[in-house]
């Protein structure tokens, strides 16, 4: 019985943390135009970067440079990219770049707090970045 109580308590803690973390999704956010970011996760090889400028997004996916259009609405925390393109070099670990680019293209919301940027698809966290 004690183990059951502890298990239920642990699950509720995780659920409440996830809810707290995503509670700012879809709310007003700081304007992040003219900022640069790098992937927060440790990955093999170079970390992907993200540079946000008025109407455009650029960076390096870990191997190739990329570019595209950016639509940002800080009043609602909306974030979207379109027309993403990239150079075509082949590197050892293309999986990191492929996943990063896929998630970047799927992101529709953002939360920016201090030196951290989180990109979401709905309430699902896709990418966490640190300010450069």
Predicted local confidence at residue 2, as pLDDT: 39
The conformation of residue 120, written as its DSSP 8-state character, comes to: E
The model's pLDDT over 36-68, given as tens digits with 9 standing for 90+, comes to 999 999 998 899 999 999 999 999 999 999 999
The model's pLDDT over 113-130, given as tens digits with 9 standing for 90+, comes to 999 999 999 999 999 999
The verdict on residue 83 lying in a domain is yes
Between CA 73 and CA 32 the distance in angstroms is: 10
Domain count, the chain: 1
Predicted local confidence at residue 22, as pLDDT: 63
**Residue ranges making up the domain that contains 33:** 26-131
| N-term to C-term CA, the chain | 49
The verdict on residue 8 lying in a domain is no
The verdict on residue 18 lying in a domain is no
The verdict on residue 107 lying in a domain is yes
The verdict on residue 100 lying in a domain is yes
Predicted local confidence at residue 19, as pLDDT: 39
List C-alpha distances in Å: 47 to 28, 43, 60, 78.
28, 6, 8, 24
Check whether 23 has a pLDDT greater than 90: no
Longest pairwise C-alpha distance within the chain: 58
The model's pLDDT over 67-116, given as tens digits with 9 standing for 90+, comes to 999 999 999 999 999 999 999 999 988 999 999 999 999 999 999 999 99
The verdict on residue 69 lying in a domain is yes
The verdict on residue 86 lying in a domain is yes
The verdict on residue 2 lying in a domain is no
Predicted local confidence at residue 42, as pLDDT: 94
Tell me the CATH number at 126: 2.40.128.270
């Amino acid at each position: 019985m004690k183990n059951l109580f502890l298990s239920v308590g642990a699950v509720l803690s995780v659920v409440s943390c996830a809810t707290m973390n995503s509670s700012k999704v879809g709310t007003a956010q700081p304007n992040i135009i003219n900022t640069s970011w790098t992937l927060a996760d440790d990955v093999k090889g170079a970390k992907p970067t993200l540079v946000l400028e008025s109407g455009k997004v650029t960076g390096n996916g870990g191997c190739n440079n990329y570019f595209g259009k950016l639509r940002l609405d800080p009043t609602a925390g909306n974030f979207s990219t379109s027309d993403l393109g990239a150079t075509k070099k082949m590197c050892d670990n293309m999986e990191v770049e492929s996943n990063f680019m896929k998630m970047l293209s799927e992101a529709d919301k953002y939360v920016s707090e201090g030196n951290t940027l989180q990109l979401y698809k709905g309430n699902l966290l896709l990418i966490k970045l640190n300010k450069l």
